[in-house]
Structure 1
Amino acid sequence: MSTNLETLHTHGVSVWLDDLSRELTDGGELQRLVDLGVLGVTSNPTIFATALSKGDRYTEQVTELVKAGADTEKAVFEITTEDVRRAADILKPVFDRTDGLDGRVSLEVDPRLARDTAATEESARQLWKAVGKENLYIKIPATVEGLAAISTALSEGISVNVTLIFSLDRYRAVMQAFLTGLEQAKVNGHDLSKIESVASFFVSRVDTEIDKRLDEVGTDEAKALRSKAGLANARLAYQAYEEVFSTPRWQVLKESGARAQRPLWASTGVKDPNLPDTLYVTGLVAPNTVNTMPGKTLDATVDHAEVTGDTIRGSYGESQQVLDDLERLGISYTEVVELLETEGLDKFEKSWVELLQTVTDELERVKTQVDAQ
């Protein structure tokens, strides 16, 4: 195991990889990373679209789909669920070793459904059943409409990765949805110890948007606040996590075998080349958290991250001051997080359309070959 990843794990941080492709699973790279100390995998439409556009690892399955007469939607469903199954098998020993806490793979519902509660619920059921692996997370966006779907999925025994969280208020609503889902799962007779959840709180995109606004303000005070909002926002999210998971309501569920919904730090690759490339790793160390990293950030963490211990607890006053100072400069926190959610959904929808087009092109290419034989 990597020394730095082991140190992070010692301080309560599970390191996951934010990438998934058949090249990773079949080429042995994912197993190498697991041996290094990676404990889970997250995926999203952008990752799938990129994977499908490279290499020929998918040709055999696409050929089978063409011969079976599958349309694009069916092909996307079969290809992505197969990728997740393969990764889940590689991570199963981690799942067993950590009693189901880690060793999991995330698969997202169609992001075009993010504003449709019932459709999201049905998609979550279909994906959960199709993959058929206990070490799966279904990713559901934390839109207002997604909150009820999160509770429903959990109530049916489906483990959930809540994604695209930017605001503290929405994060609190997500945790309440988690508690509601587990309470209903208990009524439904599910074993709460088997239901896991993480809440993916996005970090670097907050800095990207706020730093742009700070540069427009242009004062020395504004310059001094650059690249502080992302960490401050995430640290205050952890404060909210500590508050919710110390309530009597949570205690009742805990006594029934439930485990807390862990905060997961997402969007942890730095966007500003002037920043330390492990900023959103070393700056967000605290017990019972997950940090999912793109490959470049993971490599940097293994190579030179300086993990000094807990960098979240004890920072809440300072973090709140950062957000207060931003408001004083005329930068609206509410406006920023609402914009980021809208942009995040738009990006995921565009990536999904790109994924559909990539698969359509691949189906047509292979069909031409099959017809010529």
Structure 2
Amino acid sequence: MRADRLLSVLLLLQARGRLTAREIADELAVSVRTVYRDVESLAGAGIPVVAERGSTGGYRLLGGYRTSLTGLTAGESDSLPLAGLPAAAEALGFGPGAAAAERKLLAALPSGNRQRAQHARRLFHLDAPGWFRDVEPVPHLAEVAGAVWACRPLRLTYLRWRSPQEVVRDVEPLGVVLKSGTWYLVAATATATATATATATAAGAGAGAAAAAAGDSVRVYRVGKIHHLEALPGTFPRPDDFDLAAFWAGWTARYEAGVYRATATVRLSPEGLRMAPFRLAPAVVRSLRSTAQAPDADGWVRARLPIESIRHARGDLLVLGAEVEVLDPPELREAITAAAADLTALYAARPQEGRSPAVATPRC
């Protein structure tokens, strides 16, 4: 709404002092011409906006003018926890509300504290995605976040890795998590929350029992793997004491422990030990450090590593090249040996480009 934008212009000038029309337009995602009209409207309403010409000019408020019109709207209050995370707020659909909430909070601060807050913002930056990874497209993230907020059930068409790959799930979304640049939906099956609540009520138990019972059916879905999404009618009763952070901590610990179904005994060279933290998963590195024996005469160390499968372990350990030797299980050692033989055969099959094959010198 235009009234909200006029207030945003006023609060920007109050918080930052002097701004050009282009800076205001970029901040509010409007045209420079719109900023000109808004400033004229503020001046016409008696707000002492001064235009200063020149390369260092811009708009400012005259004589330290301040307004107390800093009340947050409902949408801005909803997005307040994301005010310091603009990228995440934008992805969740709360970008404009979070930006407006931050402007109003800064405008309400005394001058000294406002400058400190603005200075702190320039010093810290969160870049969630990991290195050398594109951000996964999440076209349904904003709709998922809205359903979480409104306690609205969803029907998901979800693509998973095992067969059948495409499945349909009716879920009750309980929260959204961003981990290492990847978004996840935490949701209960569509009837779990209501059934758990009814059961707990009939048994005379409290909300905690209902949340625990519903938690048994809570699952995690990767938002980028949601192929299609449909909002279902009505709402569902969210357990009052469902703790998203606590659930996530427990779920990730169980997931990490469940992924690794076997162990392998390996020897690592000093260079392999140095490379391991940069090439292997954190859980594998922790096991390496806790089980490492004393180095032998050549500096090699024997240790036990958790593995997901023979196929996964082969790929994981090949990145260390000749700096690791598999001792056990025999199937993994054979898989590594076969891979090394295949590589040798591949590179020996044809000469290196740009070099002629060796020709035997005839003997007279």
With structure 2 as the length reference, what TM-score do the two structures score?
0.23
Larger radius of gyration, structure 1 or 2? 2
With structure 1 as the length reference, what TM-score do the two structures score?
0.23
Higher helix share: 1
